[in-house]
Structure formats: structure tokens, C-alpha cells
A and B are shown apart, each in its own frame.
Chain A
Amino acid sequence: MATLTRPRTAPAHASPKGKVRSRDGLWAAFFLAPQVIGLIVFLVVPLGFALVLAFMKWDGLGNQSWVGFDNFAAQLGDPEFGRAVWNTVKIALITVPIGLSLAVLIAVGLNSIKGGNFYRVLYFMPVVTSSVAVALIWQVILANDENGVLNTSLKNWFGITAPDWLGSPQWVVVSIAVVTIWSSLGLNVVIFMAGLQTIPPQVFEAARIDGASPVQIFRRVTLPLLSPTIFFSTIVAVISSLQAFDLIYVLVDPKDNEGAQTIVFRVFELGFQKFEFGMSSAASILLLLLTLIVTLVQFAAQKRFVHYDS
């Protein structure tokens, strides 16, 4: 680092302001260089390349040609892509509202008892566990054979013949949602607990003195004051749900069950199994557009539902 240490040679009569400025530009460049160069090389260039690829037909070897919007048209007209979009949306529609509602309730509960940290640790354990391990554990629990503890227990104890959770295209969506909720619940709980702690206790005190019931306090005080945190978590949860891959890919092999084929799986399959790079890029850009639209809609909706302190 010695080469970067500039001797202070500025003569006394030079304009100090101009000197400092030009030097600051260099320092800024130096401090920013690693992240900015990395951003350009590993994000901006590949993103530009993806945009170009989406309008090309290319198998990764020699043959490449411009095809205009054909890749997009092909994906949008492909019933398999439509099914992937529908599966993705279904999983998000179950996971996000149920997962976040449970997390809010648990966070409010934990905030109002002593010894909450013990539970907090318990609920957080799946968050630090790799999604591959989570998927494997649940694969064994949900298996539809004599080793699947859930279905065998339901049968032995209650005489219920349960569905094939991972094998049926309808139920697999529910299974994916349940496992996703289980693995992300703890993170949302601690985020909401942190959000609750930013609310001044006097607010609750005042509501209690005015004779509000716990349910009224929850609906009229807690929820509105927590709404900025809920909004932020909803955005994050929706995006990660639309882009989910690891857990699903290990839990159910999407090749065996069309219900587990999501948009990201299509991108992966087209790119890395069929080597149709143009199609894969087009599908991924459609996913990006879906993400952007859904996020913008949420930002538009927040004006009605989110309460900000003035």
C-alpha cells in the first residue's frame, strides 16, 4: 500500500479546495474500484449479454442467428412455460400470506412473554440450515412409502390414507409451500420482533389505558405501526418466492413431477440441460419482468396499506 501514500507536497499558495477535490476523485476511484469493476464484469456485462442472447438462437457452439422476438413468443406460447408461471404464482400465493401472517402472530406473542429468546432460537434453527438438508429431511418425512413417517402415522393412528405429498402435481405445490414456510418462518419472526421493538411502549400503554382490548390493540396499533416492516418483508418474500430454486429442486425432482416445475426450473432446464441459451435467456428475462411488475404493484399498493410516521 506504500505506493498509494501520496506525499503532502501541495505548496502553500495552491488553491487548497481544487487540490483536495481532484485528489478526492482519485481516492473515490481507488476505494470503489474492486466492487465497481466486479459489478461490471460479473453483473452488468452478463446482464447485457443475456439481453442480446434472448434475441438469438444459439446452442453455445458455432451456429448463431438473430431471431427477433421469436424466443419470447415461443416461451409465451409454450404451455410448459405457462404451467411454470402458474406453479410459481401458486406457490407464492400460499407461501407469502400464510408465512408472514404466522410470523407476525408469533413475533407479537414472543414480544409479550418472558423467556422469548428460547423460542426465538428454536424457530430460527431452520434458517441457518442449508436448503439442501432441509429438502432431504422433508423428503423422508413426506415420502409416500412405508418409511414416510407422516403418511404411515396418519394411516396407523387415524386410518387416513393421505395423498402422495411429493408425487401428485396438485399436492406438491402445498408441500413446497409448507417446507418453505417452515424454513423461512424464523427469519421473518426475528425481523418482526425487531420491528416491534422500534414502536415506543407508551403507544401501547396509552391504548391500554383507553380501554382497548388486546385484539383491538393488535388491529389498530400494532399492525399499522408494524406495516412498514411488513411491507419490506412482503417485497423480499415475494421476490424470493418467485426466484426459489434450491429447495424445490432437491425436494422433488421437477422432471418427475410437473407440479414442481417453476419459472426458474425452466430457465435452468433450457440453459443447462437442453443448451438452448437464447430460450433460457428469454425465459429469465420474462421472470425479471414479472418480478419488476409484481414489485411495482406492491409499491403502488403500499400507499393504501402502509402507515409511515410523519
Chain B
Amino acid sequence: MRTRQVALHVSLTVGGLLMLFPFVWMLLTSFKGTHQMLNNPTDWLPSPWLPQNYVEVLTGSTILGAFWNSFYIAVVNVALTLLTSAMAAYAFARIKFRGSGALFVLFLATQMVPPQVTIVPLYLMLAKFGWVDSHMSLIVPTIVNPFAVFLLRQFIRAVPVELEEAARIDGANRWTIFWRIVLPNIKPGLGAMGIIAFLAAWNSYFFPLIFLNTPELFTVPMLLATYAKQFGAIDYGLILAASSIAVVPTLIAFLIGQRKIINSMAASGLGGR
């Protein structure tokens, strides 16, 4: 039994190191100077440690602006996604209306459609709205989130109906019940869905690639990819410095909230069961 535990730990550690290695290599290489990259590219440690790549990325690109773009787009998108999907979820969970079941199935069925099928018509449509090369194209269409409606419906169904009935007897209408009773009682669900939606918005690349042209409007992944296409073949150190600037804040946020983030993603993978 003991040897089995040891063997398990050893193999899991080896696997863990393989998971960690690319990040470590990214950080180490980002501190290497051009001279070292040319002469001793596979030296593990930078010698000397040079911050020049970071200086160059921070001064030569709009990456800090991209952080702000990514951040506010994700926050607005997540807030609107949570509010509107919780509303729809409440209707599906608690209000009896004709066609409720069919509409819910239709919602879930649209999840099967790959985003690539609708991307050309969506582009032509958003161009008519004047939303191409604007953050509206990233914020608004992805608010429609059938998965969020499904997940939050599961959470709302677990709220005791008695709470709502008590409020109704006191004269509260549906909106008051939703706002005062239901939302506070599904905070864990909103938190989990919020994390999933935030990560999706924060890391999204396909939509910015299709819709944005102006570098000042770029989000972090879009800026990173464009920057790499510009300098990638010339200077790996520069690219990995840019990647580190993009990745490290996300990883720190993840390490702080790891338990909640992992559990949210696990719950989503089980289909909210």
C-alpha cells in the first residue's frame, strides 16, 4: 500500500512537471537577451537576467491598453449575461407558461450549432449595425448564453418554493421576488457561472480576430497574436515576454481563487448535475 502511494506521487509529480515546464520555460526565456538567444539558446537560466524584452513590450505595444479593453469587456459581458440568463432561468424554473418545455429544448439545441456556421451572417449583420471594429461586437452577441440559462435553472429549482410564496403573500410581485429572494439564494450558481463566462470572455480570440481591426481596440489575446505575427520569427524572447505579461496575471488570479474556479468548471463539465 505504501509503495503504491509513493509510485502514485512520483508519476503524478512527473506529470505535474510536464504541465509546469512550458510556463517555466516561458518565464526563463523571456529574461534572456538577444546575445544569449543567438549563442546559447538552450541554456536553462538567463545569464545575465535582462528585463529588456519586458521594457520593449511595455513601451513598444499597447498591451496595457489591451488589458483594460479585455477587462471591461469581460466585466460588462459577464454582468449582462448573468442578469439576463438568471431572468430566463427564473421563467423556465418557476413560471408556468405555454410552450415552456419546447422553448427550453430550442435553447439547448442552439448549443449544438458551431459558432463558425453563423459567423459570416453575423459579420454582415453587425457591419449593418456599425458594430464591426467596435467593442459592441464582443460584448453583446455572446450575452446569449443557453448554457448559463440551463445551469442557473438548476440552481433556481433548488431554492425552496416556500420562500417565494411567503413573499408573494406579503404582496411582492415577480420582479421583487426574483431580485430579493431568488438572486441572493443562487449566489454560488452566479459565482460559478460568472467565473466560467469571465474566462471565456477574457480568453476569447475568434471574435476579436473576425471583428476588430484597430490595434487600440485589441483585447489581450488579439494583441498577443498580432504582436507575435510581427516579431515571432525574429525574436522569441520578445514573444515570450509578451506572453508572460498576458499569462501571469491570469495565473495569479487563478491561484488566489483556485478552489472556487476549479469547482465551478467541474460542475459545468458535469452539466450542472
Which residue numbers of A lie inside 8 Å of B, CB to CB? 1, 4-6, 8, 21, 24-25, 27-28, 30-32, 34-36, 38-39, 42-47, 49-50, 53, 60, 106, 109-110, 112-113, 117, 119-134, 136-141, 143, 146-147, 149, 152-153, 156, 182, 185-188, 190-191, 193-195, 198, 214, 229, 232-233, 236, 239, 242-243, 245-246, 249-250, 264, 267-268, 271-272, 277, 280-281, 284-285, 287-288, 291-292, 295
Determine whether the beta carbon of B12 is less than 8 Å from that of A110.
Answer: yes
Task: Return chain A residues, CB-CB under 8 Å to B124.
Answer: 49, 60, 277
Give complex CA distance A303, B26 in Å: 45
Which residue numbers of B lie inside 8 Å of A, CB to CB? 4-5, 8-9, 11-13, 15-16, 18-20, 22-23, 25-26, 29, 37, 41-42, 83-85, 87-88, 90-91, 95-98, 100, 103, 107, 110, 112-125, 140-141, 143-146, 149, 171, 173-176, 178, 199, 202-203, 205-206, 209-210, 220-222, 224-225, 228, 232, 236, 239-240, 243, 246-247, 250-251, 254-255, 258-259, 261-263, 265-267, 269-271, 273
Determine whether the beta carbon of B121 is less than 8 Å from that of A45.
Answer: yes
Determine whether the beta carbon of A291 is less than 8 Å from that of B203.
Answer: no
Q: List 25 A-B contacts (CB under 8 A).
A: A31-B91, A38-B143, A42-B140, A46-B122, A47-B113, A49-B121, A106-B15, A112-B8, A121-B255, A125-B20, A125-B254, A129-B203, A131-B203, A131-B205, A132-B246, A133-B243, A133-B247, A152-B42, A191-B269, A194-B267, A232-B269, A245-B206, A267-B119, A288-B112, A295-B112
Give complex CA distance A88, B196 in Å: 27
Give complex CA distance A121, B233 in Å: 33
Given contacts A31-B178, A60-B124, A291-B112, contact A121 B258 (CB under 8 A): yes
Q: In the complex, what residue of chain A is closest to B144 when comparing beta carbons?
A: A38
- Tell me the minimal C-beta distance from A145 to chain B in angstroms: 8
Determine whether the beta carbon of B210 is less than 8 Å from that of A272.
Answer: yes
Given contacts A133-B221, A267-B116, contact A24 B96 (CB under 8 A): yes
Among the interface residues A112, A141, A149, A198, which one has the most CB atoms of the partner chain B within 10 A? A149
- Tell me the minimal C-beta distance from A269 to chain B in angstroms: 11
Determine whether the beta carbon of A27 is less than 8 Å from that of B116.
Answer: no
Task: Return chain B residues, CB-CB under 8 Å to A123.
Answer: 15-16, 19
Partner of A271, one of B4, B119, B239: B119
Determine whether the beta carbon of A182 is less than 8 Å from that of B11.
Answer: no
Given contacts A32-B88, A125-B19, contact A187 B116 (CB under 8 A): no
Given contacts A130-B224, A156-B42, A288-B114, contact A137 B25 (CB under 8 A): yes
Give complex CA distance A146, B39 in Å: 9
Give complex CA distance A288, B118 in Å: 11
Determine whether the beta carbon of A39 is less than 8 Å from that of B144.
Answer: yes
Determine whether the beta carbon of B22 is less than 8 Å from that of A138.
Answer: yes
Among the interface residues A42, A239, A242, which one has the most CB atoms of the partner chain B within 10 A? A42
Determine whether the beta carbon of B125 is less than 8 Å from that of A45.
Answer: yes
Give complex CA distance A27, B93 in Å: 13
Given contacts A25-B97, A34-B84, A50-B120, contact A39 B110 (CB under 8 A): yes
Give complex CA distance A34, B81 in Å: 10
- Tell me the minimal C-beta distance from B156 to chain A in angstroms: 11
Among the interface residues B120, B144, B178, B239, which one has the most CB atoms of the partner chain A within 10 A? B120
Determine whether the beta carbon of A232 is less than 8 Å from that of B19.
Answer: no
Task: Return chain B residues, CB-CB under 8 Å to A38.
Answer: 84, 140-141, 143-144
Determine whether the beta carbon of A24 is less than 8 Å from that of B269.
Answer: no
Determine whether the beta carbon of A232 is less than 8 Å from that of B271.
Answer: yes
Determine whether the beta carbon of B114 is less than 8 Å from that of A35.
Answer: no
Give complex CA distance A28, B18 in Å: 51
Determine whether the beta carbon of A126 is less than 8 Å from that of B19.
Answer: yes
Give complex CA distance A137, B228 in Å: 11
Task: Return chain B residues, CB-CB under 8 Å to A277.
Answer: 120, 124
Give complex CA distance A28, B41 in Å: 63
Give complex CA distance A249, B224 in Å: 13
Partner of B243, one of A125, A136, A288: A136
Given contacts A34-B84, A45-B121, contact A119 B261 (CB under 8 A): no
Determine whether the beta carbon of A130 is less than 8 Å from that of B221.
Answer: yes
Give complex CA distance A137, B237 in Å: 11
